[in-house]
A and B are shown apart, each in its own frame.
Chain A
């Protein structure tokens, strides 16, 4: 492909400007959707990886088999004796029960429901590591903190959870009991988790006396040398026997942190995949559009093709002129599509960040940008191959007569 042939192709695209623009527009829409969706998909992937890295790969959970938020199934619980039993299983470094309940939270005249978690103040470091929470302001819970609470990130701001922001030292109501706020956790990235409230075992037992020593959720740390998946099977087996349940009919299940994240990743991946498929369909429509434009161009330029052949153009010269034209349409559509996709995803990312969804943030690796542009160039070029082949095979004597 020589510079003059490229120039000739570009002149032709300019010559039929509106048609070229509309064809390019159709590919811009498809590529913009793909770019935006993939940037979010990758952003979520990175977020999950970061969480996994922070939480470490040595964590396991025991929770109820069933639907609903983990730990909130009232029919399922593990007794503190069960937690002690699990703690003694070979390969388990430590185990800690966690209470989980939904409670009515009051601040001034504002009332809302939120999750509260009752944790063992002796195990706070372990709990915080497992739930990937770090103190942002104030301090964490310690033994003897009776009516004290550490709140999620969202409570610190006006109109995020409550209308008015809460500060360290403020008082809030949890199921009508007054609690003092002693700290805030850093942002987790989704409004649900960022509105959790953390209190001690004792405080939880004060609020819900009937749940004393009945944990909805157990967190486990394995010994360093242990394979967590094997340990999960061992705990499952031992605890089943301990609770006298039949194999396959347990009311609990043991899962590793990695499994839990993998499940989440799969769900996100499937959702993203479906959306990508829709975007791909629009690219296919765009490629049909390019093909149509190129067939029309071949028809319009039949005589020109004849002239070029008469003055010495080979079939391959004609082929490349048309493939370049369609490829150029694809590439321009790709570049503009990436720009539009960037604007769309950055705008949505800004909105989701403001709404507290830090996990819904787009990322823009270079290979995504280049991949989108190369993909759209290829789509364009491939769409142009058939019309280009038709053009290249035109007989010069016949095309010269074409009016």
Chain B
């Protein structure tokens, strides 16, 4: 046995049917991600980045091919099993932050733990700790609308870490942040990678941002390409 791969995509296809036409969003993607690796996936718009993110994040299943997450084939799981799996093993950071507007910062951070049946005291303790780490301890009872973009993204990262996931999946995480806040955020992500050993997969179209990763893969027309 060689190195341990936390994630392995083998000939993954995703075909969407639009009326009578089949659209191949992914066309035989092969990708391996090592445990503790920081991978950036780059590609132009329409290259299949979002579809690939959905597959890796267990938000969707491939039309063909297999995806192994921590050694288990997830390509044929039912939605409820996928939900449990992504809640436990994957933390999401979205470009739009995607916080629930009616919930406070701490409630947003606690949300994934609710679905993992973690007791309330434990949830509060963990959420407070994570908000302290992202330096938002004093903003825990603020709602998303009362926070800046950078602060919202930090709440989102605290939320993504609450179930101690194996993989952190960041989809254009700095896309809605100004450059200074974006750089600060990337430093935080790198720190997580180097100090905590988190596996991070980040989708971006920004070469500068991608430089923070250990390795960059390029996606073009639904396939892994050498460059774009």
Tell me which residues from 126 to 161 in chain A have a Cβ below 8 Å from any Cβ of chain B: none
- B112 and A312 contacting across the interface, CB-CB below 8 Å: yes
Question: Given A4-B110, A5-B114, A397-B59, A312 and B84 touching (CB < 8 A)?
Answer: yes
- A4 and B114 contacting across the interface, CB-CB below 8 Å: yes
C-alpha spacing A317/B115, complex, angstroms: 8
- A303 and B98 contacting across the interface, CB-CB below 8 Å: yes
Task: Mark interface residues in B51-64 (1 if CB within 8 Å of A CB, else 0).
Answer: 00010010110000
Task: Mark interface residues in B97-123 (1 if CB within 8 Å of A CB, else 0).
Answer: 011101100010011101110001000
Main secondary structure of the interface of A (DSSP, over half): helix
Q: Which of B60, B111, B115, B159 contacts A314 (CB 8 A)?
A: B115
Neighbouring A residues of B50 by C-beta, 8 Å: 401
- Chain A CB within 10 A, most for which of B57, B94, B111: B111
C-alpha spacing A246/B17, complex, angstroms: 85
Residue B174 at the A interface, CB < 8 A?
A: no
- B116 and A4 contacting across the interface, CB-CB below 8 Å: no
Counting contact residues on chain B (CB < 8 A from A), the size range is 20 to 34
C-alpha spacing A7/B59, complex, angstroms: 26
Residue B163 at the A interface, CB < 8 A?
A: yes
Residue B48 at the A interface, CB < 8 A?
A: no
C-alpha spacing A397/B159, complex, angstroms: 19
C-alpha spacing A309/B98, complex, angstroms: 12
C-alpha spacing A230/B98, complex, angstroms: 80
- B102 and A8 contacting across the interface, CB-CB below 8 Å: yes
Neighbouring A residues of B99 by C-beta, 8 Å: 307
- B102 and A11 contacting across the interface, CB-CB below 8 Å: yes
- B92 and A314 contacting across the interface, CB-CB below 8 Å: no
C-alpha spacing A314/B86, complex, angstroms: 10
Tell me which residues from 291 to 318 in chain A have a Cβ below 8 Å from any Cβ of chain B: 303-304, 306-317
9 A-B pairs whose Cβ atoms sit less than 8 Å apart in the complex: A310-B57, A310-B92, A311-B115, A311-B159, A312-B112, A314-B83, A314-B84, A397-B54, A401-B50
Q: Which residues of A contact B (CB under 8 A)?
A: 2-5, 7-8, 11-12, 15, 303-304, 306-317, 395-397, 400-401
Q: Which residues of B contact A (CB under 8 A)?
A: 50, 54, 57, 59-60, 79-80, 83-84, 86-88, 92, 94, 98-100, 102-103, 107, 110-112, 114-116, 120, 159, 163
